[in-house]
Structures are given as C-alpha cells and as structure tokens.
Chain A
Amino acid sequence: MTDLVHPATAVAVSPASRNPALALLRAVARHRLASVGLVIIATLIIIAVFAPVLAPYSPFQQDLYHVLAPPSRLHLLGTDNLGRDLLSRLLYGARVSLLVGIVSSLVSAVIGVVIGLIAGFRGGMVDAIIMRITDAFLCFPPLIFILAMSAALGPGLQNVILAFALFGWTYFARLARGQVLLVRELPFIEAARSVGVPATRIMFRHILPNIVAPVLVAITIGIGGAILVESGVSFLGLGVQPPTASWGKELRVGFTYLEAAPLFSIAPGVMISLAIIAFNFVGDGLRDALDPRLRGANRVSR
C-alpha cells in the first residue's frame, strides 16, 4: 500500500516531508476521526489474525445445557442458541468480514480502474461505449445484483466475492475515468507521447500514479461498503454457510431470540457497525488529507 501512495501524493500531502507515505499517515493520524478509525481497524485485524489465541472457547463447541445464557464470567457475552460462546464466535467472525471486505474492494478497484483508464485515455467511441455500459450497470444497486448472483451461484464466500467483482467495478471505473480526463491534458503526458512512449506504458506508468489518491479513498470506503453488503447477504441467509461464524449470520439467528437474549443480535451488529464506521472514518480522513482545496479552507478558517 505504501508504494501505491508514493508518486501521486508527494506534492499533495506535505511538500516539506521526505517520505510521502509517512507524511500521509501522519496527516491521517492528525485527523481526529481517522485516527479513531485506524485504531479500530488495527484492533479488528489483530482479532482476525489471533482469533484462535484470543477466543476463550472454540467457536463450534456446543453446550446444549447452557443455550442463550446471559453474560457471565464464563461467557462474557453469553451463549447462542446452540450454547456456543458468543464472544468467541464474534472474534472468529472478524475473519470473514475483513477478508470479504478487503478482497472485494481491491478486486473491484483493479477491474474498475483498468476500465476507467482505457475509457478516459482512449476517448471517443471507446469511451462513449464503455461509459454507457457503466451507466447501465450503475442503474442497479449493487446489493440487489450481488444478492441475485449469490442466489444463482449458490451460497459461499467465493461467490459473494465473485459477485462483487462483477458488479462492484462501476464506481471505480467512473472515478478513474474522471481523473484520467483531468490528467490526460497535462504537459508531461504530451511530452511522454511526443518522445514515443507506448500508450499502455503512458496509461500505467504516467497516468495511473497520478490518480491513485482518490482511488485509495474509494478503496477504503469501498471496504466498509463491502463489509455491509457481505453482512447483509449473510443476514438474508446467503453468503457463508454454517457452522462458520459470521457477524451477519449471528445477527440473523439472534434476531429470532431478541426478547430472550438481546445481546445475541445486538453484539454482532455492534461489530459490523464498528468495522464499517472505522473504514468510513479513515476514508474521510484520507480524503481531507489528500484534497488540497479542503486543507486550504481549513487554514483560512483558523
């Protein structure tokens, strides 16, 4: 990720700093909400990686004598309808959500940026055709498409990610194209063209680094969106299959027992919300750090 930031943000972030990636990180850390978000994300990643160490019980271990138990010293968040420790299941659930969120957003970004680069750089008919198709895809809210695809392909994580790859790219394509149109006319591109640099190389070596900043913001916010869609798909009963622990699935089962064991549905939702909020906080901070116009406005007001 650090290399990605490099060329585009060198000027935008802090002209005085030697290492732009570090400067960007510093700018984000100064941003109040973004630093809160970073801490939450770091915690979630640690939870996902070290779930087996952190979890007090196996997420699959059933105790049918203690189903829907209220919180106690033995089970900090109580147990679910099969007597499994809720806390342990939530810790393991972080794996599914983070994995789907990050992979889906990255895959969508790669596909979308390539399409947007081609449309913006080629222009003319190619651009018109690609963008009308993108507009058509944009008419379908992604969640509806992903649900339909997951149902058609059958449940399972890889199918959710595949559905994302098919329908998540449109936003990135539009974003990348808009950025390319801004960069394309700059003198250094003309210079590269005039000395005979091939088009593909101009696209990926000269233009791409200069549109990375807004794409990075979109990827961060996209991870939050993908976590939302994944948990939603799991909530409706597609997505990961039991007995794998997933926040959306716990939430759905817990909803059935809302009166008897409110934590059973509320706690997984807290995890989902925290994860989405954290990525949106960081995305927002990145946007502020990368947008020179906004920083200027800040300075004036102070």
Chain B
Amino acid sequence: MGKYIGIRLAHALVILAIVVVLVFIIARIIPGDAIMAAMAGSVDLHDPSVVERVRHQYGLDQSIPVQFAVWLGEFLRGDWGTSIGTGQKVLDMFVQRLPVTLELFVGATLWSIAVGIPAGILGALKRNSAADIAVTTGAIIGVSLPPFWEAIVLIYLFAVLLPIFPPSGYVPFFEHPLLNLRAVVLPTFVLGTHAGGLLARYVRSSLLEVLGQDYVRTARAKGFSEAAVIARHALKPGMIPVVTVIGLSWGGLLAGAFFIEVVFAIPGLGRMSVDAIFQKDYPVMQAMLIVVSLNVLLVNLLVDILYGYIDPRVRVRG
C-alpha cells in the first residue's frame, strides 16, 4: 500500500508541475497587453521610457524562466496578485468565496447520493421492469440536462408559480441557518443532477455485474434469502464505483457552479470566475485555473488511494 501511494503521489506531482507550467504559458500568451491596457488610463503609453518602466515594474523585461520562478515563488508564498476588476487581493477573494461554493458542492453531492444510489439499486434489482426503464432513461436525461435550463425551469415552478423557495440570492449559514438552507435547496439539486444520473447508471451496472459473480451464486445455492444475498454479498462490492463517480464529478461541479451561481445570483467562486473571464481579470483567472486543477488533482489522488484501499487488486496493477 505504501509503495502504491508513493507511485500515485509521484504521478500527481508530475502532473501538477505540468499544470503549473501550462497555466503560466497560457497566462503569458495573453496578458502582456492586459497590463498595458490596465495602465493605459494612468500613464502615457506612447512614451517608450514609461513603457519600459511599466515592463520593469511587472518584471516583463526579465527572461521567461526568471519570470516563471518569480511568479511561482510569489504564488507559493500566498501572493496571488491583485484583481484588476475589484482591486482586492486575489487570495482574499478566494478565501472569502470558497465556503459558499463548498456548501453548494457538499449539498450537490448529498443530493446525487440520495437520489442516484437508491435509483441505481432499484434498476439493478428489478432489471428490465418498467422501474428499470424509468431509472435508465431518467439517468441519461439527468446526465444530459443543461444546468442553466434546469435551474430556470425549477425557478419558474418553485419560485414563481409556487413560491416555496427564493428565486435567487444567498444568505450565509451562520447568519440565518434556515434562510440559508431554503436558498440552497434548488441550486444544490440542479448542481447534483448530473452526478446523480451518473451514479444511478454506474451503481446499476456495477451491481448487475456483481450479481452475476460466482460467489453470489454460491451464496444463493447455500440457501441464503435473496435479501440477505443482496445486502450481505452484493451491495458492498457493488458500491465501489460510487467513490469513482463522486471523484470524477467533483471537477465537473465547478463548471456547473459557473452557471448555477450566475442564474441564482450566488456570490461564490463560480460567479467570481465568470466575472473574471468577462473582465479579462488575468490574475484572478490564473489563480482560478490553478485552484481548479489542484482540486481535480487532489480528488483524483484521493480516489486512487481509496480505490487501492477498497479493492486490493488495483494496487498490484496500478
């Protein structure tokens, strides 16, 4: 197990290094002009000496490797630069908005588990029945629905026609727990739909595969009741893909949050990122890309390790 974790960790570090270089390259390809554009109002850019001074101030006159080292050093020390849009420190902006988006993520994951796992089990146990067809069809539809449209339909149904939930807005949990929960019901449901559909599919097919295994047949042959066979022998190994699906969908959640936070006017990381993209706020975009990929990388690493723990065969192969 130790060696397996070591290999996974080494892989993740290599990928992280490539990610950091990629983000640096992307950021360097675009924003040289952005700094100039941002300075255009305050200084005279027709004067070559002024341009030279600005370039020097931002370190643009140094060689690319030196720029990279300086940038990486600052980033690691927590100096993520200043937002062009808000003038705030980028790191502060992230810290401020992170809890909001995390709450959405957790809520979405809970929704997807609460709906997806029972649906998948039902589909597998009642194979080829009307219920199974409903589950498989519903799962594909859940995976397919555009989040922004689903959000709009739910707002129309449950905030306009039947005013149960607020159509938009956000109240921090510690300010008013009840209002907070009411505000996040719809957004988290929409955000969790995709993962819920995926979960239902994976749980169903994995359970079907397990039910066809020899040891399940043996258990049946020994005279265990069907309920005992399923609960004691099939369910646990059938749940292995849950870990993978939740891990895989974690990265997609942030993309979903872009839309959800815009539609529901929630002040989280997604909305901040969309604003940054539109304002060409490169310091924020750059930090966002690194946070996003770090998030995916860490979750993948965690899934790999969990997987090796649950299913020892993976350790040998992997």
Contacts and interface: CB of A to CB of B under 8 A. Distances in A.
Interface of A: 32-33, 132-133, 135-144, 147-148, 151-152, 224, 228, 231-232, 235-237, 251, 255, 258-259, 262, 265-266, 268-269, 272-273, 276-277, 280-281, 284, 297, 300-301
A148 B285 contact: yes
B141 to A, nearest CB: 6
Contacts of B22: 136-137
B14 interface: yes
Contacts of B156: 258, 262, 266
A268 B262 CA distance: 18
Contacts of A269: 146, 148-149, 152-153
Interface residues of B, number: 48
Contacts of B136: 33
Contact of A284 (B140, B149, B152, B297): B140
B255 A266 contact: no
A236 B144 contact: no
A48 B292 CA distance: 37
Given A232-B148, A265-B152, A277-B141, 4 more contacts: A232-B258, A236-B259, A266-B153, A266-B156
Nearest to B127: A301
B64 interface: no
A283 B66 CA distance: 48
Select the residue from B141, B146, B155, B280 with max chain A CB neighbours within 10 A: B146
B296 A147 contact: no
The DSSP consensus for interface residues of chain A is: helix
Contacts of A141: 251-252, 254-255, 292, 296
Contact of A139 (B155, B262, B292): B292
Contact of A251 (B145, B152, B251, B285): B152
Interface stretch (B40-48, B89-97, B172-180, B270-278): B270-278
B293 interface: yes
A272 B149 contact: yes
Contacts of A272: 146, 149
Contact of B137 (A33, A147, A228): A33
A97 B151 CA distance: 20
Nearest to A300: B212
A147 B258 contact: yes
Select the residue from B19, B149, B258, B293 with max chain A CB neighbours within 10 A: B149
Select the residue from A133, A141, A251, A281 with max chain B CB neighbours within 10 A: A141
B292 A144 contact: yes
B137 to A, nearest CB: 6
Contacts of A281: 140
A136 B15 contact: yes
B142 to A, nearest CB: 10
Given A140-B289, A269-B152, A284-B140, A258 B146 contact: no
A128 to B, nearest CB: 9
Contacts of A301: 127-128
Contacts of A33: 136-137, 140
A258 B15 contact: no
B274 A236 contact: yes
B292 A132 contact: no
Contact of A140 (B143, B160, B262, B293): B293
A133 B18 contact: yes
